[in-house]
Amino acid sequence: MMRKLHQAARFVRRRIASSPTIALVLGSGLSEALGRLEREQRLGWERIPHFPRSTVAGHAGEWVFGLFEKKPVLVSRGRVHFYEGYAMSEIVFPIRVMKLLGIEKVILTNAAGAINREFSVGDFVLIRDHINMIPDNPLRGENIAELGPRFPNLLDAYSARLRALAKEAARELGLELREGVYIATPGPMYETPAEIEAYRRWGADLVGMSTVPEVIAARHCGLEVLAISVVTNMAAGIGSDKLTHEEVLEVTKRRERDLAQLLRAIVARM
């Protein structure tokens, strides 16, 4: 595995002019949220050795390098998911390559369904903790000691420091930024009302099909993590409408300008 990671990192390093320490992962429907970066360089995943290929609408499947708020960043336009048939090692491969490229902090975004009845469609929600229902783990198997310890601690999986910074940025912009617990499910089907009720009783505020494997891998290799969900629908049994992926993409498109503004303010403070 480390051989493949180093091959991918060398390939990327030889083709980029910057040395970013901040990465942003743009989730469903958010690939275009940040627009063009200053001094932008794009690298499609299909060119990078051993990289997965995104198969889901709303995930462009490329890395973009450039300046964002005058800081060199890596922007991942999309991600891959467990439900696409990928192994966990493939899902978190990009995160691990980020580490080898010198990334220190990663901001993850996603589209999520609201379980908490106080949330509304279009809300931005900081993830403060998670519940993992995906039936696999990126750290299962032999530990990659070069990246991190056998038994990493997830007590501060979502950086309290970065969450405070994000709240400050949202306040200055006049944007409401809620906070909650995210539960990751395997997908690709949306959950049943009975499942959502069970998750609500467990303490989950949001539900989605991504992010948690990346967080586990990122914390394993020492990256500081911030994660923000865009509420694109009320979860099954909470709202009255049928759930569709088209609805998810429509809501993220509608809120992408505000999200870009929030991400700019956060990165400027990093």
If you average pLDDT over residues 63-91, what whole number do you get?
95
Right CATH for 2-269 from 3.40.50.1580, 2.120.10.30, 3.40.50.10490, 3.40.630.90 = 3.40.50.1580
Which candidate in 83, 90, 132, 260 is catalytic? 83
Q: Residue 150's Cα: distance from chain center in Å?
A: 23
Q: Tell me the C-alpha distance between 2 and 66, whole Å.
A: 26
Active site residue 83: yes
Q: Going by DSSP bridges, is the β-strand pair 22-26/105-114 parallel, antiparallel, or unpaired?
A: parallel
Kindly list the domain boundaries of the chain, sorted by start residue: 2-269
Active site residue 59: yes
Confidence of residue 34 (pLDDT cuts 50, 70, 90): confident
Confidence of residue 249 (pLDDT cuts 50, 70, 90): confident
Using an 8 Å Cβ cutoff, are 123 and 233 in contact?
no
Active site residue 32: no
Active site residue 84: yes
Would you state the pLDDT for residue 105?
Answer: 98
Which candidate in 28, 89, 116, 229 is catalytic? 28
Least confident piece of the model among 24-28, 138-142, 157-161: 24-28
> Which residues, 6+ apart, have CB-to-CB distance to 141 below 8 Å?
none
Active site residue 209: yes
If you average pLDDT over residues 16-32, what whole number do you get?
88
Which candidate in 76, 110, 229, 233 is catalytic? 233
pLDDT of 114 > 90? The answer is: yes
Would you state the pLDDT for residue 57?
Answer: 67
Active site residue 28: yes
Active site residue 233: yes
Which candidate in 31, 110, 116, 210 is catalytic? 210
Quote the mean pLDDT of the chain: 93
Residue 256: strand, helix, or coil: helix
Confidence of residue 254 (pLDDT cuts 50, 70, 90): confident
Prediction pTM value: 0.95
Which candidate in 111, 227, 236, 265 is catalytic? 111
* Residue 119 backbone phi and psi in degrees, to 5: -85, 160
Residue 173: strand, helix, or coil: helix
Would you state the pLDDT for residue 251?
Answer: 80
Would you state the pLDDT for residue 137?
Answer: 97
Residue 163's identity, in one-letter code, is R
If you average pLDDT over residues 171-175, what whole number do you get?
97
If you average pLDDT over residues 238-255, what whole number do you get?
77
Tell me the pLDDT tens digit for each residue of 232-242: 999 999 876 66
Would you state the pLDDT for residue 225?
Answer: 98
Confidence of residue 18 (pLDDT cuts 50, 70, 90): confident
